[in-house]
Amino acid sequence: MNQLNTTDYIIFILYFIGVSSYGYWIYKRKQTTSLETKDFFLAEGSLTWWAIGASMIASNISAEQFIGMSGNGFTFGIAVAVYEWFAALALIIVAVWFMPIYLKNHIYTMPQFLKTRYNETVSLIMAIFWLFLYVFVNLTSILFLGALAISTLVGADSFHPIVIGLSIFAIFITLGGMKVIGYTDVIQVAVLIIGGLVTSYIALTLVSQKFGLGNDVISGFSAMMADADDHFHMIFEKPGPNTSQVDINKYLTLPGLAMYFAGIWIVNLNYWGCNQYITQRALGADLKTARTGILFAALLKIFMPLIVMLPGIAAYVLYKNGSLQNEMAPGGKLLADNAYSAILSFLPNGLKGLSMAALTAAIVASLAGKANSISTIFTLDIYQKYIKKDATQKQLVWVGRVTIFAAMLLSIALTWQDALGIGQEGGFTFIQKYTGYLSPAIFAVFILGFFWKRTTGAAAVAGILGGFALAVLFNNYAPALFGNETILYTAYPNGNGGFEIPFLICMGWSFVFTILLMVAISLTGPVINPKAFAIDASMFKLQPAATALTVIILLLVTVLYVRFW
């Protein structure tokens, strides 16, 4: 059933026209000279700090957050905010320690970093891994979840047309290059924040009304905390003999204190610091601009749970008390990922259009950023190096655009019938789980490459392949091979007749053993690898503004954890 009226469509069309027109203006303004690869892929030197920060957030906050994290808010509560708040801490580390190394060594892509620090074999292996990960996990899941959410507003039979529409919109933005993406993302992030806050406001008023407290947002939040106290704790207790399967499933996703020692750090530091999709925004800027932009993104990240998680908790409270039955359980089957759309269905006319624009902004920004990263890696790290070494700047830009089309077409094909089973896993968990097969190995290779001069290329190759194998082992075979409880882990029943180790614990041990493997191999090589980066303390010195931002972020995260521990 179509839940939108004429006013909603007018608001959405105005958003579409505004973003498209601004993107086209940015593109034409740059078109005074021929578009070169550094302009197309990096917007070299043209993004301001606020554009970098906004673009990072717009590319990160997408369907997997709006839909997947709201769904996790419904199931797990505020504990899932660990991804957002630890992201803020990870961004500080990236801004202070990672970015100076990238910029000093003129790094434009992550495979280029691996070639510069190690060798071409490492670079090629990771380029292929990244392309598969970005297309089959990230791009496809963003498109699927986004189309699923919007189709619940527009009508049940609209899923496939929306898949096509989102893809075309994202392609239109992406073909203009990183500068167009970066500056249109400023509009996108403004729309998604405003629309997201409106949705959260409505969610709290619905809770307030449900408990007979009028339309008071504060009362609604207080009632929500009182009625769903179990949803306002950051740490899940380790399951015991009498723990229900529901609580075991929560622990499998967010394994209490254990995840803070490795898994959650690996997820965030790899995503924000070793990921072409994110770092690309800052790689074309000077250090001061890049660092300030990244810290600005960290500050924004702290407030994202208000937008992407709180509506899910509100939906849980309403469902628990007899509301949203049809929206949350169509056909009698409860679907947590319907939480955000269920709240949207109660918005008044006009605000539904704004919220749909916010959701679309998040989806399109992420699709565009991901497609640009796929294009960058394939064009600069595979096509230019191994297929046509003498390609002109014009030819490389053309190949980049063709790659964008190809990636989108493949993603559409995978999304069409949910070939990867994203809907069954739960969107946010699907992305985190399958990204986790590569994250430990990637982060191990990067962190040793940054800060240990003895790390060798042979160790990096072994780390990538061995780390991936270890992740597969821990995630799929360890309980069957070694038992359900060892000194390293405890496996828990997963509700499907088998036993499973929490994937964040798997990531931690995969990382630890990958580091040990790389260290052992590197110790057989020279004391200082000739390709090691030169590092000095002055690279990491912060300006007063950056120092102030860092202190504010640390204080805010501390206060939040003290409140909800």
The DSSP result for 301-367, as a single string, is HHTHHHHHTHHHHHHHHHHHTT-SHHHHSGGG---GGGHHHHHHTTSPTTHHHHHHHHHHHHHHHHH
* Exposure string for 332-361, b = 16+ CB within 10 A, e = fewer: eeebbbbbbbbbbebbeeebbbbbbbbbbb
Q: What confidence score (pLDDT) does residue 490 get?
A: 93
Give dist(CA 286, CA 38) in Å, integer: 14
For residue 500, give the DSSP letter: E
- Closest by CA to 94, choosing from 261, 270, 260, is 270
Q: Retrieve residue 162's tokens.
A: 């929306």
Contact 173, 364 (CB under 8 A): yes
CA 336 to the chain's CA centroid:
19
Q: What confidence score (pLDDT) does residue 36 get?
A: 56
Q: Would you call 165 exposed, middle or buried from its count of C-beta atoms within 10 A (0-12, 13-18, 19+)?
A: middle
Q: What confidence score (pLDDT) does residue 483 get?
A: 93
- Helix then strand count (H, E) for the chain reads 30, 2
Q: Retrieve residue 464's tokens.
A: 């990538």
Locus of tokens 């449900």: 210
Q: Which residues of the chain have pLDDT under 50?
A: 1, 33-34, 43
Q: What confidence score (pLDDT) does residue 241 get?
A: 86
Q: What confidence score (pLDDT) does residue 248 get?
A: 92
Locus of tokens 């790290």: 381
Helix or strand or coil: residue 492? Answer: strand
Contact 149, 66 (CB under 8 A): yes
Q: What confidence score (pLDDT) does residue 316 get?
A: 93
Q: What confidence score (pLDDT) does residue 182 get?
A: 63
CA 520 vs CA 438, 453, 462, 463, 523: distances in Å = 21, 14, 11, 11, 5
Q: Retrieve residue 485's tokens.
A: 């409880």
* Exposure string for 238-265, b = 16+ CB within 10 A, e = fewer: ebeeeeeeeebbbbbbbbbebbbebbbb
Q: What confidence score (pLDDT) does residue 221 get?
A: 92
Which helix (H) or strand (E) is 23 found in, with range?
Answer: helix 6-30
Q: What confidence score (pLDDT) does residue 181 get?
A: 65
Q: Retrieve residue 32's tokens.
A: 């005074």
Which helix (H) or strand (E) is 5 found in, with range?
Answer: none
Give dist(CA 552, CA 543) in Å, integer: 14
Q: What confidence score (pLDDT) does residue 3 get?
A: 64
- Closest by CA to 433, choosing from 480, 388, 403, 474, is 474
Q: What confidence score (pLDDT) does residue 38 get?
A: 57
User: Hey, what amino acid is at 110?
Assistant: M
